[in-house]
Amino acid sequence: MAAVLKRSRGLGCVLLVLSVFTLGYCTTSFRRQLTVVLNPGSSSSPPHGGDLLHVRAVGNNDTLHFLFCSLGAPTLLLVHTNTSSSTVKMNWTQFLDGNHSGGLKVEPESSILYSTAIVFSRLLEYDDSNDTADPTSDLFPPYRLDNFTWSRLNLSETSALLCGAADSFTNGSLCLQLSVFAEEGRDQAWPRLLHTANSSQLGVWLDGVLPRAARSRFLLELQAVGGAHPLSRVEVYRSIDDEFTPSIFQVSRWVPSENSSSDVLGFLQWKPVAYRQPHPALEDATPCRHSEPQPQSGEATAATSRLIRAFYTEPETFGLNVSFGLAGDPFYNSTKFLSWTVLLGSGSPPVDSFSPLVLSMMAVGLGTPMILLLLGGVCVCVRKRAAAMAAAYEPIN
Ligand SMILES: *[C@@H]1O[C@H](CO)[C@@H](O)[C@H](O)[C@H]1NC(C)=O
Ligand SMILES: *[C@@H]1O[C@H](CO)[C@@H](O)[C@H](O)[C@H]1NC(C)=O
Ligand SMILES: *[C@@H]1O[C@H](CO)[C@@H](O)[C@H](O)[C@H]1NC(C)=O
Ligand SMILES: *[C@@H]1O[C@H](CO)[C@@H](O)[C@H](O)[C@H]1NC(C)=O
Ligand SMILES: *[C@@H]1O[C@H](CO)[C@@H](O)[C@H](O)[C@H]1NC(C)=O
Ligand SMILES: *[C@@H]1O[C@H](CO)[C@@H](O)[C@H](O)[C@H]1NC(C)=O
Ligand SMILES: *[C@@H]1O[C@H](CO)[C@@H](O)[C@H](O)[C@H]1NC(C)=O
Ligand SMILES: *[C@@H]1O[C@H](CO)[C@@H](O)[C@H](O)[C@H]1NC(C)=O
Ligand SMILES: *[C@@H]1O[C@H](CO)[C@@H](O)[C@H](O)[C@H]1NC(C)=O
Ligand SMILES: *[C@@H]1O[C@H](CO)[C@@H](O)[C@H](O)[C@H]1NC(C)=O
Ligand SMILES: *[C@@H]1O[C@H](CO)[C@@H](O)[C@H](O)[C@H]1NC(C)=O
Ligand SMILES: *[C@@H]1O[C@H](CO)[C@@H](O)[C@H](O)[C@H]1NC(C)=O
């Protein structure tokens, strides 16, 4: 009995020790050196019609280049090289021409391990008059994001804000905020995605847009562009831990096809939730769904994005739609706000592990009932023995 009791306490201890280790591990994570340049090498500053942001994230023996561009449809390009000295070379004449590739190069070209880009191509709106949340019926003409009027990039420490609008938005806007990270961490705002130094985060929100129907819902169309290994399938993982994103138990991951390589080369990851308020409470969460990625015309995508045109000679493209809200959820009109967050990164996507808090709670949660059970067992044993002894005395009486 005592031995078993000891073992169950031992389990609690192991879990506590584990959680302390996790804490220690988190504070000594891998770091990258970040350098941020707006419109690198541009002689006419700023270039007409939009901006290009270059973030160089240098690791021990590699570099990640994040390029965020508002010339055409907003695009984020990630290039992973195997040296810490690779650079971005621009030819602005060619870049702004926008009719052939080569305007942007990452050099030396032989150091490029992997590249992937995400293009925010269209915003779609449909009239969900029957509240079925069926995004294929009663569509309004789509908004093409390469047709928007975009603001200049507003830079703060390690994030960049881009807002734009179609004419009919009146006072509303669609904004994208890019954040890059020197090390592992977690945003303060829901969905509190876990990021690493190998990933960047894009928040997208639709604020104050005048919907074309009282019961409008929205969809966002994304194009994933790659050279050799485009993101081509979405995997959905279940997680039992919702500590950081209350009530959401899933993670969606858009990755290259399985046999392109045994290791994941890059990913776009998100939690299937959007929020209807800038500072949301739990009831402001609204589920989102994605359609299956479909092969698209790379040429058409390149035509909408200056960055894609400049970097890729033969872009391979897959597209999908993310739709916000299920049947029965409030319509866009209820708050006139919708925000969604994704992570674009190289290598394996960050995976939420149980946090020290949850681990210690588990240790207590598992340990306490076990101790109670064992104590109960001891009590029953003692009583049985007493009863047996009493019974043994009876015949003598
Ligand atoms: C970086 O590369 C050098 C030379 O190839 C090697 O000696 C070193 O161990 C590498 N460092 C890391 C952290 O991989
Ligand atoms: C940039 O591209 C243009 C057009 O292709 C070319 O004429 C020019 O020489 C290039 N500039 C540099 C610095 O390579
Ligand atoms: C690309 O643009 C340049 C300058 O605007 C033009 O001279 C050239 O013919 C164009 N090429 C193609 C293939 O459209
Ligand atoms: C980087 O990759 C290229 C092409 O794969 C290779 O030729 C080169 O040796 C690599 N460099 C390093 C430092 O690993
Ligand atoms: C909504 O429901 C009505 C009546 O059931 C039907 O006639 C109409 O086609 C439906 N509209 C849509 C967009 O499904
Ligand atoms: C895109 O913009 C062009 C002119 O800039 C306009 O003619 C066209 O109607 C717009 N298309 C959409 C779908 O907004
Ligand atoms: C840039 O962003 C900051 C905070 O994010 C905001 O206070 C400021 O007004 C913005 N500037 C412009 C020109 O939009
Ligand atoms: C847009 O903003 C202006 C000034 O802030 C305001 O007067 C106008 O009523 C707003 N329009 C709409 C449709 O909200
Ligand atoms: C980030 O990338 C570096 C270099 O490829 C690698 O050593 C490190 O393990 C990666 N970190 C994570 C959390 O994936
Ligand atoms: C929803 O939009 C309609 C017009 O499109 C407007 O009359 C109505 O007041 C809006 N409802 C809310 C709750 O804002
Ligand atoms: C994956 O493997 C199948 C057969 O094993 C092959 O037909 C297909 O072309 C491969 N796809 C890629 C992207 O390598
Ligand atoms: C997104 O949805 C619209 C409307 O249903 C459809 O026309 C378009 O092809 C979809 N895009 C993708 C990439 O599936």
Contact yes or no for 321/221 (Cβ under 8 A): yes
Angle 299-304-305 (CA atoms, 0-180°, nearest 5)? 95
Residue 246's alpha-carbon distances to 190, 250, 273, in angstroms, are 9, 11, 10
> If 0-12 CB within 10 Å is exposed, 13-18 middle and 19+ buried, where does residue 395 land?
exposed
Atom 9 in ligand 7: residue holding the nearest Cα: 154
Per-residue pLDDT at 238: 86
Per-residue pLDDT at 380: 65
Contact yes or no for 168/176 (Cβ under 8 A): no
Atom 2 in ligand 11: residue holding the nearest Cα: 259
Burial readout 44-81 (b: 16 or more C-beta within 10 A, e: otherwise): eeebeebbbbbbbbbeeebbbbbbbbbbbbbbbbbbbb
Per-residue pLDDT at 384: 66
Per-residue pLDDT at 356: 64
Mean pLDDT by runs of 10 across the 397 residues of the chain is 43 43 55 95 80 96 97 97 96 90 95 96 96 92 95 91 92 96 91 94 96 96 92 88 77 84 83 95 93 95 95 95 96 96 94 70 72 72 62 49
Per-residue pLDDT at 23: 45
Per-residue pLDDT at 197: 95
Atom 7 in ligand 11: residue holding the nearest Cα: 259
Residue 82 CB less than 6 A away from ligand 5? no
DSSP state of 258: G
Per-residue pLDDT at 44: 65
| Residue 366 host element (H or E) | helix 356-393
Contact yes or no for 338/252 (Cβ under 8 A): no
Q: How far apart are CA 394 and CA 397, in angstroms?
A: 5
Q: How far apart are CA 265 and CA 256, in angstroms?
A: 7
Contact yes or no for 268/342 (Cβ under 8 A): yes
What phi and psi values does residue 178 have, to the nearest 5 degrees?
-95, 130
How far is the centre of ligand 10, averaged over its atoms, from the C-alpha of 333 (Å)? 6
Residue 138 CB less than 6 A away from ligand 5? yes
> DSSP secondary structure string, 51-78?
-EEEEEEE-SS-EEEEEEE-SBS-EEEE
Contact yes or no for 27/18 (Cβ under 8 A): no
Residue 125's alpha-carbon distances to 134, 165, 206, 215, 333, in angstroms, are 11, 14, 12, 10, 12
- SS3 state of residue 158: coil
Residue 339 CB less than 6 A away from ligand 4? no
Per-residue pLDDT at 355: 65
Residue 156 corresponds to which tokens in the numbers above? 């703060």
Per-residue pLDDT at 173: 97
How far is the centre of ligand 11, averaged over its atoms, from the C-alpha of 344 (Å)? 24
pTM of the model: 0.84
How far is the centre of ligand 4, averaged over its atoms, from the C-alpha of 108 (Å)? 10
Q: How far apart are CA 322 and CA 271, in angstroms?
A: 11
